Amino acid sequence: MTAFPHLFSPIQVGNVTLKNRLFSPAHGTTLGTRDGLVSTDMVRYHEARARGGAGLIILEGMNIHSTYRFPDMFLIADNDACIPGLSQLANACHGYDCKVFGQLFHAGNAVRATVDGARGVAYSASTTPHDRYKIVPAAMDIQMIHDIVTAHGDAARRFLSAGLDGVEIMASMGYLTSQFLNLRSNTREDEYGGSFENRLRFLRACIQDVRDKVGDQMVVGLRISGDEMTDSGLASGDVLEICQAIDHDGQVDYFNVIAGSSADARGWTHVFPPMAMDAGYVAPYSAAVKRSVSKPVLVAGRINQPQTAEQIIADGQADMCGMARALICDPDAPNKAQAGKFEDIRACIGCNQACVGHRLNHEKISCIQHPETGRESQYDPLPVSDRPRDVMIVGGGPGGMKAACVAAQRGHRVSLYEKSDRLGGQALLAQLLPGRAEFGGIVTNLVREMELAGVSVHSGTCVTADLVREKNPDAIILATGAQSCIPAVEELEDAHIVDAWDVIRGDTNVGQSVVVADWRCDWVGLGVAEKLARDGCQVQLCVSGTVAGEHIQGIVRDIWNGELHRLGVAVVPYTDLFGADGTTAYLKHTITGEPVILEGIDTIVTSHAYAPVNELQSALSVFGGTVISIGDCLSPRTAEEAVLEGLRAGCAI
């Protein structure tokens, strides 16, 4: 008997039976062709999640009308060219008893993309400006509204022709349909604006057109934000009234609840909630919808473990749980959970770096822990070596551990050596910062993967050229990392300058008034500033970039900056440290070169460029076997690059 009786019980939704209650929600992948069609890479991506045990996959939102059409960034469903690729994808997933729904998408005034670099005209219910993208849209005329309604049904009919099992209409996250529903964004005075019934008319028309064209042959669902989490968006009470009205119409088969809005920075942080948000925190909103409607209710939003999903369903807060990033991180999580292999699940840590971060830059989706994601055509399955070799891995950070896992999984005899007593590298520092404990999951996950792959681990061992000669491996992968450095500055008498890593580890004393001189503009400066502020220090965070956290994923950065604001941390952009004395920090403006002098300072904490630790590479110049350097010892970057290069190195031997 499964440990998750609710999660792995079947459910009837419309005319289909789903084998379990776990689904992959709609999310952009940037895996389509330049023409907006399904590619082989996209088929392989979704097939991996179907093979891994998901009961349902809802495909990413597809453009359906010329007023929002970006084929190099989104799938296109406004003509019959989409049908063959969608059919291939559906067939691949159906082979694993996994159903596939398509999603209909129009962003309205939330337009960031361009076709040729010039901003086109955005269209919405009204001319209400879009706060995040600073867009003033044109109001749709009646004919355009009718055309877009018709486009919904026409696209759904193409989904039916392709063999998809259902269609989902997006009314969530402040996009076009939400803009019609929202009294604050819909100021029309015709039959599509004003009263609640009028504002509901567009959504009702879209649902009706879809149902008229697919009948009862497909499931028809609605995705909606349970609360748009911003003062200008739909609140939970508004959403319940909408859902009750649509449920009463009897034309949809389920409600899919998420949170947040694309309309402003505050709402946007809830669309892809990172580790700063509590796990499963959207469930109370789905529970409210479930109490108000007669049809099944789905929920998604920071559900990264099957235990969380099971509890949500057991408590009656939803009928199904979406685990988008959890399945990006571990496509096999459903099968592992059903088999009781809980420790083998590679849990998502909510970093947003290679999933959301890639997608919002319109790069192919991936995962810092599992770079095979989005690269299934290359690495799924891993090629088995026809000549097993003795492989030595030097360095037990994420990159070295990933290289060890992959090489061992391919059949090599792998030994990993780490000079410290603990595996994890810089991830051990990241997890010590406020609200970042979850980042340590990357270490836990990779350690478990090494155990399963049979890697021999030697901690507390410094690898020298003599040890290499003694062990005589066939190949060596160097993952020795990098070391933090205090920058060379003009330091006068009694200046107290310390390194950020020492502060995180608690290895140095810090005074009451602190300047954090952040050249890197990443998680270190933000995290140290928050830590010291929570410790009671008066903190000024001086960053060399335009904003603190400039080089980390935007939602993570924005939430962190919001927290620093609450804590009273002053952020000074465009500044570099060049000198210090006992109580003064001397900085200069990075654009004008003019001095920025901060007085009354007890301690300066620096987060500067890292130095590669690569001395062993030179010592191995006479080694006759294969030597591959990866990660920070090659060029200091992030965990994402280290793990990806670990994958590549493990496959190259």
**Chain segment 181-237, per-residue pLDDT in tens:** 999 999 999 999 999 999 999 999 999 999 999 999 999 999 999 999 999 999 999
Query: What are the helix (H) ranges across 255-410?
Result: 265-268, 283-292, 306-314, 324-329, 333-338, 356-360, 376-379, 398-409
Phi first, then psi: give them for residue 12, nearest 5 degrees.
-95, 125
CATH of the domain at 555: 3.50.50.60
- On whether both 637 and 586 belong to a single domain, the answer is no
557 sits in which H/E element: helix 554-567
Establish if 32 belongs to a structural domain: yes
Q: Give pLDDT tens digits for 386-418.
A: 999 999 999 999 999 999 999 999 999 999 999
- On whether both 242 and 345 belong to a single domain, the answer is yes
- On whether both 496 and 600 belong to a single domain, the answer is yes
- On whether both 420 and 453 belong to a single domain, the answer is yes
- Report how far residue 292's alpha carbon sits from residue 178's, in angstroms, rounded to the nearest whole number: 19
Establish if 14 belongs to a structural domain: no
Domain count, the chain: 3
- Report how far residue 201's alpha carbon sits from residue 149's, in angstroms, rounded to the nearest whole number: 11
Establish if 13 belongs to a structural domain: no
DSSP secondary structure, 588-648, as one string? EETTT--EEEEES-SEEEEE---EE--HHHHHTTT--SEEEE-GGGTS---HHHHHHHHHH
Work out the average pLDDT over 123-139: 97
Q: At residue 490, does pLDDT exceed 90?
A: no
Work out the average pLDDT over 318-323: 98
Torsion-angle region of 138 (φ positive above 0: left; ψ -120 to 50: alpha; else: beta): beta
Identify which of 119, 57, 133 has the alpha carbon closest to the alpha carbon of residue 90.
57
Q: Give pLDDT tens digits for 68-96.
A: 999 999 999 999 999 999 999 999 999 99
At CA 104, angle to CA 68 and CA 195, rounded to 5? 85
pTM of structure: 0.97
Q: At residue 317, does pLDDT exceed 70?
A: yes
Establish if 12 belongs to a structural domain: no
- On whether both 465 and 545 belong to a single domain, the answer is no
Q: Give pLDDT tens digits for 241-287.
A: 999 999 999 999 999 999 999 999 999 999 999 999 999 999 999 99
Sheet of 595-599, strand order:
490-491, 575-580, 584-589, 595-599
- On whether both 541 and 401 belong to a single domain, the answer is no
Q: At residue 315, does pLDDT exceed 80?
A: yes
pLDDT at 494: 86
Q: What does DSSP assign to residue 297?
A: E
**Is residue 537 helix, strand or coil?**
coil
pLDDT at 12: 98
Is 366 within 8 Å of 354 (Cβ atoms)? yes
Establish if 178 belongs to a structural domain: yes
pLDDT at 88: 98
Q: Considering the chain, what percentage of its residues have pLDDT values greater than 70? A: 100
Establish if 232 belongs to a structural domain: yes
DSSP secondary structure, 103-145, as one string? EEE--TT-----SSSS----EESS-PPBTTTTB-PEEPPHHHH
Q: Considering the chain, what percentage of its residues have pLDDT values greater than 90? A: 97
- On whether both 125 and 193 belong to a single domain, the answer is yes
Establish if 3 belongs to a structural domain: no
CATH of the domain at 344: 3.20.20.70
Is 104 within 8 Å of 77 (Cβ atoms)? yes
Q: At residue 484, does pLDDT exceed 90?
A: yes
Which of 600 and 113 is assigned the larger pLDDT? Answer: 600
- On whether both 140 and 258 belong to a single domain, the answer is yes
Is 537 within 8 Å of 566 (Cβ atoms)? no
- On whether both 103 and 119 belong to a single domain, the answer is yes
pLDDT at 186: 98
The answer for residues whose C-beta is within 8 angstroms of residue 321's C-beta and 6 or more apart is 7, 21, 22, 23, 298, 299, 300, 303, 308, 309, 312, 313
* C-alpha dist (Å) from residue 635 to 95, 405, 483, 488: 43, 22, 11, 20
Work out the average pLDDT over 458-479: 97
Residue 146 has, within 13 A of its CA and on its CB side, a CA count of 4
Q: At residue 492, does pLDDT exceed 80?
A: no
Identify which of 599, 570, 596, 595 has the alpha carbon closest to the alpha carbon of residue 583.
599
Establish if 30 belongs to a structural domain: yes
* Mean model confidence pLDDT for the chain: 97
Q: Give pLDDT tens digits for 240-251.
A: 999 999 999 999
Phi first, then psi: give them for residue 355, nearest 5 degrees.
-90, -80
Identify which of 555, 600, 592 has the alpha carbon closest to the alpha carbon of residue 576.
592
Q: Write down which residue in 347, 378, 409 finishes a domain.
A: 378
Q: At residue 1, does pLDDT exceed 70?
A: no
Q: At residue 567, does pLDDT exceed 70?
A: yes
Which amino acid type is present at position 187? T
- On whether both 419 and 326 belong to a single domain, the answer is no
- Residue with structure tokens 């004008």? 592
**Is residue 167 helix, strand or coil?**
strand
Domain of 574 in residue numbering reads as 490-609
- On whether both 333 and 261 belong to a single domain, the answer is yes
Work out the average pLDDT over 367-373: 98
- On whether both 100 and 147 belong to a single domain, the answer is yes
Q: Taking each helix axis as running N to C, give the angle between helix 236-249 and helix 283-292, from 0 to 180 degrees, rounded to the nearest 10.
A: 40
- Report how far residue 159's alpha carbon sits from residue 583's, in angstroms, rounded to the nearest whole number: 68
CATH of the domain at 418: 3.40.50.720
- Report how far residue 533's alpha carbon sits from residue 316's, in angstroms, rounded to the nearest whole number: 40
